[in-house]
Structure 1
Amino acid sequence: MATPMLSKEPSAILFNTEKLEEMKDDNEKWVLDSSVDHKGNVPVRATTGAWKAALFIIAIEFGERLSFFGLSANLMIYLTKYLHEDLKTAATTVNYWTGVTTMLPLVGGFIADAYLGRFSTILFSAFIYIGGLGLLILSQLAPSLKPCTISPCHGGSLRLHKIIFFLGLYLISIASGGHRPSLESFGADQFDDDHPKERKKKMSYFNWWNFGLCSGLLLGVTVIVYIQDNISFWVSYVVLTVVTVIALAIFLFGRPFYRHRVPKGSTLTPMIRVLVAALKKRHLPHPSNTGELYEVSNSVNSEKRRLSHTNQFMFLNKASIIEHRSNQAGGFEAEKHMNPWRLATVTQVEELKLIMNMIPIWLATIPFGISVAQISTFFLKQCAVMDRRLTGNFEVPPASVYALGAIGMIICVSLYDRILVPLFRRLTGNERGISILQRIGVGIVFSGIAMVTAAIVEAKRLRIAHEEQSKVVSMSVFWLAPQFVILGFGDGFSLVGLQEYFYDQVPDSMRSLGIGFYLSVIGASNFLSSLLITVVDHLTEKAGAGGSWFAKDLNKSRLDKFFWLLAAMDAVNVVVYVLVARRYSYKSVQHKVGVANSPDGDEDDPKV
């Protein structure tokens, strides 16, 4: 709604000034962003939301990530040691499972936004998660289901164990599909975009969300992995189940403080209507001015934030052309009865444009995701064949080296939030410090540097392996520290940036699905990583010179060449990403008083 026009009469000026002050006071007392409290009432700002609610949500994320990485960090080792899969098959299995786990949030996010609501989706997902952990415990304890530690195994026993094990594993995938997009967006919902102080706090939320995430990851790949390697897998699964139950209890304890978004039905239907309306009116000329386009009155739809008109995807603007103007009185009622399959509002058109505008960014971040996928597959296999002695008798579990990446990300987000953001705010005048897309771009550069580092270190490890003719080389595992830490820094920029980007730039009604879009980058990257491994394996084996880059014995593989290939892909991708990002236009929102664009830019300044 535009700023109210003030009459020249002194009494009218006084009345409107008082009215604005009253609106300002209401905005300080109440949260007027269409959210509700746990009783369905308008939330009181002082007692709900912001950090007092977000901390409970970060706590359950800490527990869930501890459980997830406690399972996934050692999965590569488990598949090769207990299920006796070769290197290529195990890497493909891990990539497929990770891919499914990170693609399902598209479904979970849609259900949360449209039907169940975020709180209920998180609750149901937590119970499914606990059920999956129960099956993993069963697969380790039931005598007929236990994994075999010798090769070859009895086929029937191994097959039955695999069925129960992977059933539990994929139940956890389903749970994560509802849990992750709903939880992260639910946490961000606790901050009001239209309140200046809360909006600034929200910019820090994603950094501290990832701080909690990495803290859970850190314990998962150290404490839980140590239990798996030195005690047993079933004990670790029991510990993870207890942690998940405690995290759920903490989450429920914070219920009185939460702000909820009421689901409004399918978020895809309005977009389909825009396409249908634009096709029906495809023969109409493009409107000469925005006055010819339809936007619903604030009195009819006061809860929904309106978006500013843009000139991108001009064809879609035809969906908002008013063909027949009605002069009848009671205009608001007339607006309500307009055919939604023939006429769409400017905001509905712009929401579809937002999704279409994201596709190039989504595609341009896939190579970054492929690089990240190596940390849970080939990086860990490198750890397993290197000297992991920390002291005379203590040996670091291979999966625990993953902690170096988490440490790198924790350091990165802490420095970024506390030092770089205040510094860049002074230098650029941007409320975020640097734009979201600039942050993502920095992370992509770090991932390329990490792959170059990994290639150099692996070439050195192979030389030592060739000289020593030993399966486990004398080279210290801490030679891998740089590639883990650098990739952790890349995650601190790109992964956090992607989370914020897909939450902030999607339509307000699709924010769980927005986090699903972010996770789908990682999911698609894992699938493509598996495909790339298969293609490279086939081509290098067929070439004959030196054989496949992915031999059963890691010391006879050529992972260094594969890492150089990824580094080259990242280098090309940096150029592509910059070109795509410079053409991007950020979401421009009309607020209740005046117009305020995204702090990253406006429609007239599309540069990254």
Structure 2
Amino acid sequence: MDAAAEPLLPQPATALDHLGRPVSRHTTDRWTAAVFIIGVEISERFAFGGISGNLINYLTGPLGQSTASAAAAINAWSGAALMLPLLGAAVADSWLGRYRTIISASLLYILGLGMLTLSSIFVLQQPAQFGDNMGSSASWMGIHLAFFYVSLYIVACAQGGHKPCVQAFGADQFDENDPEECASRSSFFNWWYFGAYGANIITVSILNYIQDNISWQFGFGIPCIAMSVSLAIFWLGTKKYRFYPPVSSKGLFENIGKSLLAWIRCWCASWYPKSSDESHFATTSSFKGDKYNRETKYLSDDAVAVLKLLPIGATCLIYAVVFAQWMTLFTKQASTLDRWIGTLQVPAATLQSLISVSIVVFVPIYDRILIPLAKKYSKNTCGITTLQ
């Protein structure tokens, strides 16, 4: 079969290979590429979870902070880590593309984790170096805390580039316009979570034990090594990937901002007419419908998509409030429990893995039992829609 006869992916979003050539379904391996990307996510979640899960114990232990101040610092950092993917996604979609953003974020991850490892070594050197000199010790502690938090926020920035791109890049390997690939794409998301959380049940628990009982240097250094391996795995799969170029040369935020500004001006003008005739006309239903049409035409597709996300984001706020307790209050409460199993004391942060256990148990049931049953009745290749 010659290249011209091969079934290329649909326009206008034609996928390219690593050399910039249009790809066919015969030259890219969907699940092979997805396995590489899932492997990257496992390493990244291990690194981030290994740092964030036990952070409260590091701040209240070696760094000597109070529980209240440590929890406030972690909540601020966690909030930044959850918001930065918005920026990372915009950079990827408008400038770098997902592949290059993942590479850049991985390098930034390695830098931040390396700095965290170095900062944990500084804690050991402080008492021996300064002895009873409280002024010098306080100054050194201030410098160390600044270095530590810079390192921590570098990790947050790296996660902001990694999180929105890796999963989306994995979905790019499946053509949603092809029924067979669309079904595989839906299944990909299920096994994505199964791999990411399933691996972390064991790996993060082991890492928490190392942090609590051996050393924080190894506890921070091992995630740094994991991210280095993750980057190597991701690079090895380059020839198997489908690439989509950035969608626009203009900034995403610029497009959205201009569209929303134009919409607001139109909305204000339509609700405050200049003449009495216009005021009377504004009360009629036909004018209101026409007004709505005039307003929405100013909104770009990006702006409309953002507006549609607002209700979803609002409903997630309650979940975010509960989730914020996971890394702070939940872990500190767990530290008060009797966690001995024979001669082994289970790390307090390991109890967070109960969330991962529930995901690992439910994903196979959902993917292999519930979805096949749903397909019989819904006639949908994915079983049920995302909204359903």
For the aligned pair, the TM-score class normalised by the smaller chain equals: 0.7 to 0.9
The corresponding residue for 2:328 is 377
The corresponding residue for 1:29 is 7
Equivalent residue of 1:161, what SS? helix
Cα deviation digits, residues 16-71 of structure 1 (max 9, x gap): xxxxxxxxx96x62222422111111112122152121111111111111111111
Output the CA distance in 2 between the equivalents of 1:245 and 1:160: 27
The corresponding residue for 2:90 is 110
C-alpha displacement of 1:117: 0.8
The corresponding residue for 2:208 is 225
Say if 1:145 and 1:132 are closer, same or farther in 2 by CA, change over 3 A.
Answer: farther
Say if 1:214 and 1:203 are closer, same or farther in 2 by CA, change over 3 A.
Answer: same
Is residue 2:239 matched to residue 1:253?
A: no
- Scaled by the length of structure 2, the TM-score of the pair is 0.84
Is residue 2:70 matched to residue 1:120?
A: no
Is residue 2:112 matched to residue 1:135?
A: no
Query: How many equivalent pairs are there?
Result: 358
Is residue 2:343 matched to residue 1:358?
A: no
Output the CA distance in 1 between the equivalents of 2:265 and 2:141: 59
Cα deviation digits, residues 219-268 of structure 1 (max 9, x gap): 44311111111210101222222211111111000001111111122234
Cα deviation digits, residues 339-393 of structure 1 (max 9, x gap): xxxxx6xxx64553332122122111210121122222211111100100112x1
2:216 corresponds to which letter in structure 1?
F
Q: Alignment partner for residue 363 of structure 2, among 387, 404, 413? A: 413
Is residue 2:293 matched to residue 1:317?
A: yes
Say if 1:366 and 1:313 are closer, same or farther in 2 by CA, change over 3 A.
Answer: farther
Is residue 2:37 matched to residue 1:57?
A: yes
Is residue 2:370 matched to residue 1:437?
A: no
- Scaled by the length of structure 1, the TM-score of the pair is 0.55
Output the CA distance in 2 between the equivalents of 1:387 and 1:255: 48
Say if 1:371 and 1:147 are closer, same or farther in 2 by CA, change over 3 A.
Answer: farther
8 Å CA contact retained: 2:179, 2:381: no
RMSD: 2.9
Output the CA distance in 2 between the equivalents of 1:434 and 1:259: 26
Unaligned runs of 5+ in 2: 129-133, 271-287
The corresponding residue for 2:178 is 195
**Higher RCO by CA contacts (8 Å cutoff, separation 6 or greater):** 2
Output the CA distance in 1 between the equivalents of 2:366 and 2:229: 31
Say if 1:314 and 1:35 are closer, same or farther in 2 by CA, change over 3 A.
Answer: farther
Output the CA distance in 2 between the equivalents of 1:122 and 1:178: 7
Equivalent residue of 1:414, what SS? helix
Cα deviation digits, residues 149-193 of structure 1 (max 9, x gap): xxxx84233223212221211111111111111111111111111
8 Å CA contact retained: 1:35, 1:260: yes
Say if 1:39 and 1:314 are closer, same or farther in 2 by CA, change over 3 A.
Answer: farther
Say if 1:317 and 1:424 are closer, same or farther in 2 by CA, change over 3 A.
Answer: same
1:103 corresponds to which letter in structure 2?
M
Unaligned runs of 5+ in 1: 1-24, 285-311, 322-343, 439-608
Cα deviation digits, residues 96-119 of structure 1 (max 9, x gap): 111111111111111111011111
Say if 1:86 and 1:46 are closer, same or farther in 2 by CA, change over 3 A.
Answer: same
Output the CA distance in 1 between the equivalents of 2:220 and 2:74: 18
C-alpha displacement of 1:319: 6.3
Is residue 2:252 matched to residue 1:267?
A: yes
8 Å CA contact retained: 2:112, 2:151: yes
Output the CA distance in 2 between the equivalents of 1:319 and 1:64: 43
C-alpha displacement of 1:316: 5.8
The corresponding residue for 2:284 is none
Is residue 2:188 matched to residue 1:205?
A: yes
Q: Alignment partner for residue 99 of structure 1, among 79, 91, 115? A: 79
Equivalent residue of 1:48, what SS? coil
Which structure has the highest helix share of the two? Answer: 2
Superposed, 1:197-596 pairs within 5 Å as 197-263=180-246, 264-265=248-249, 266-272=251-257, 274-275=259-260, 315=291, 317-318=293-294, 349-391=300-342, 393-438=343-388
Output the CA distance in 1 between the equivalents of 2:97 and 2:303: 22
The corresponding residue for 1:173 is 156
8 Å CA contact retained: 2:63, 2:123: no
Say if 1:70 and 1:281 are closer, same or farther in 2 by CA, change over 3 A.
Answer: closer
Output the CA distance in 2 between the equivalents of 1:147 and 1:178: 37
1:317 corresponds to which letter in structure 2?
N
Say if 1:374 and 1:30 are closer, same or farther in 2 by CA, change over 3 A.
Answer: same
Cα deviation digits, residues 466-499 of structure 1 (max 9, x gap): xxxxxxxxxxxxxxxxxxxxxxxxxxxxxxxxxx
Output the CA distance in 2 between the equivalents of 1:268 and 1:79: 36
Q: Alignment partner for residue 184 of structure 1, among 163, 167, 170? A: 167
